[in-house]
Amino acid sequence: MKLKHGFKAIAAKLGYEVRQIDWTYEPNNAALRQDLCEHSREISKHHFFQTQEIVLSLRKKYEKPIFGKAHVLDLLKLLAQCIDPGDTALLGLSQLTHVLQVIEGMEKDGVEDQDLLIAALVHDLGKLLLLTDESPENVICMNRPIGKYERGIGLNNCYFQWNHDEFIYSRLKDYLPEHIAWLVRYHGILIPESEPYMNEKDRSYLEKYLRIFRKYDTETKSPYQIPKKKIEDYQDLIHLYFPKPVLF
């Protein structure tokens, strides 16, 4: 992958690490672009093979802490080491860069809701599982309901594929407002396939929070847009929601 002139130097000056993955990507090379997409599709295929039994086993596997007690700011810094192998938009940039792009996009548009801003920072913290020996198909990708349910039953009564969304929800739900805990848990669902099962509360949160959040979560991704702020610039906001270490 060829980066724009000075990109790495600018990133280093701002405190970000740019790491390249083990394939070459050129925007105008159709064959290589296809290889990347096929790699992402292969991970997604295995992800969607999850059954209810697999979901239950993964929930049980991660009931106990794996990182121990840690400050959320320190956990966010670890995202600099995480690269989502299924993300075809970031082209190997770290998840720390991604979350900073999301919150920067919100701030640029004048979003002042601190609940949405903290969601931007912590929504992908579950991808720290990429630093463990967990299979990528159990960490990344979007989620859809497993099986069929009664209309309006409520998302909490449905099984979805297990991944970083459910993991970070289990760790942070007691620290976040209910609607933001819901947002973190369901930020990666396939909406058309999930909407029939939403109850009144789910639909309210969908319109007030998820649709807004999804715009920034997807549209701010760029391999060339370096965030102007560092994660430390948000330590006051992080401390507001997480004044003490969390059990991670």
pLDDT in tens, 108-130: 999 999 999 999 999 999 999 99
More confident residue, 49 or 3: 49
Instruction: Compute the distance between CA of residue 206 and CA of residue 160 in angstroms, rounded to an integer.
Output: 17
Percent of all residues in the chain with a pLDDT value above 90, rounded to a whole number: 77
> What does the pLDDT read at residue 38?
79
At 166, the amino acid letter reads E
Between 44-53, 63-72, 86-95, the lowest mean confidence (pLDDT) is in: 86-95
Per residue in 151-200, pLDDT tens? Answer: 999 999 999 999 999 999 999 999 999 999 999 999 999 999 999 999 99
> What does the pLDDT read at residue 29?
54
Domain boundaries, the chain: 7-247
Per residue in 210-241, pLDDT tens? Answer: 999 999 999 999 988 899 999 999 999 999 99
- Is residue 195 within 8 Å of residue 98, measured between CB atoms? no
More confident residue, 223 or 34: 223
Q: Where residue 56 falls among pLDDT bands split at 50, 70, 90?
A: very high
Mean pLDDT (whole number) for 56-84: 96
> What does the pLDDT read at residue 199?
98
Phi, psi angle pair for 246, to nearest 5°: -110, 155
> What does the pLDDT read at residue 166?
98
Mean pLDDT (whole number) for 59-72: 95
> What does the pLDDT read at residue 207?
98
